[in-house]
Amino acid sequence: MNMNNPNDGIVLDHINFSFGRRPILRNCTFSAPVGEVTALIGRNGEGKTTLLRILMGLLTAESGSVRVAGLDPNKSALEIRRRTGYAAPDRLEVPPWMRVAEYLQFLEPFYPNWNRAFALELLHTMRIDFAARVCDLSKGSKSKLAVAAAIAHGPEFLLLDEPFGGLDPVARRNVMEMIISQIAGGSKTVLFVSHSLADVERLADRVAILDRASITWTGTLDEARIQMKESNPIAAGFDLGDLLVTKVAAEKEKVS
């Protein structure tokens, strides 16, 4: 595979990463094709956030190759960040004085394609108080703000780290519609991390399971359904959670 092909979307090839002696990612290989929504699922602490941070150039993989639109995050982090909407609500921290309106105003100069009207409309739709301090926002409101800020500049790539965390059902639907409206054209590449399998089933075209520092399974939702049918023919319906449990159990067995 030509790693530098700009039409390949997101490609990870045998990457390794560790914090100190603790390996976080081992030989991780998968890709998120252009125009598709890929969900990254796995248990807590398996390195999903780390993987997104590597894609943003915030961390550097020890070995292997990483490409986003054919660009290496270590060498072209700026270009990638300019073309990517990154939302990690849990990791969003701004100075305590900063209000929602000031936060958007602060972000604007960094993105040439920033659409102020669109950003305001998003916040209005989400019912976020412009005058509220960011640090005082609830977890759900913070998630909405992070996602709105990530898509307000019309990025080619969306990296979303648990964008639905803490959202009530209505807000969840709003945020999801916001994301769906963004990917409707089919030109955007989305990689998102979520623990809500229902959200994954609703939004994702493809799924990657990260377990014990490795990608243990990747495929489309249809492939997942087929695989589940094969492994459990008597099951009444498809449940992605079952697939996750099955894969985790299989990996555990392999290790033992």
Partner 1 sequence: MMRILLNLVWREWRNERALMLGAAAALPAILAFSYIIHFDFAIQAPGLLLAIVAGALAADVCANDSAGRRIETLCSLPVRPAMLWAAKSLFLLVSTAAAAIYLVCADSTVAFALRTTAMTHAQSGITSVLAGFIAFAWVAAACVSVASVACANALGGLVSGAFFTGGLVWLGVDAADYLQYLGWAPGTPSLVAAAIVIICIMGTVAGIAFCYLRARAVPAWRKFTIRAAGVAIITIASVAGADAAAKSAAIPRPGDANVEFNELSASPDGKWIAARVSHFSRSDGFVWTFDVENSRAAAIDAFHAYFMNNPWTDAGKIQLLQSGRRGRFQGEDTPRIITADPATGAIVNSREATYAEVTNLPRWASVEYRPIPTETRSYWGQGIITINWTERGLTKKYKSRRPWVLDSQGAAILNKPGTWLGCDENGRLIYYDLAAGSERVLREGPVDIIQSSKNERRAIVITATEKEVIDVDSGACVAGPWPRNKGWVQWLAGDDEGRFVIISDKPGESGVFDILSGRVILTISRPESAVRLGVLEKIAYVDGGRIRIADLSGGPERTLYR
Tell me which residues touch partner 1 (CB under 8 A).
Answer: 56, 58, 78-79, 81-82, 86, 88, 91-95, 97-98, 102, 106-107, 109-111
Shortest spacing between CB 218 and partner 1, in angstroms: 26
Distance CA 71, CA 49 (A): 20
Residue among 24 and 228 whose Cβ is closer to partner 1: 24
Residue among 93 and 222 whose Cβ is closer to partner 1: 93
Residue among 193 and 244 whose Cβ is closer to partner 1: 193
Distance CA 126, CA 121 (A): 8
Distance CA 87, CA 50 (A): 13
Shortest spacing between CB 59 and partner 1, in angstroms: 10
Distance CA 216, CA 29 (A): 9
Residue among 17 and 217 whose Cβ is closer to partner 1: 17
E-state strands within 4-153: 10-19, 22-32, 37-42, 63-68, 84-87
Distance CA 110, CA 222 (A): 39
Instruction: Read off φ and ψ for residue 175, nearest 5 degrees.
Output: -65, -40
Please give the structure tokens belonging to residue 164: 């639905």
Distance CA 134, CA 68 (A): 30
- DSSP tag of 194: -
The number of residues in the chain equals: 256
Shortest spacing between CB 138 and partner 1, in angstroms: 18
Shortest spacing between CB 98 and partner 1, in angstroms: 7
Shortest spacing between CB 72 and partner 1, in angstroms: 15
Residue among 109 and 186 whose Cβ is closer to partner 1: 109
Distance CA 74, CA 84 (A): 15
Residue among 31 and 84 whose Cβ is closer to partner 1: 84
Shortest spacing between CB 179 and partner 1, in angstroms: 19
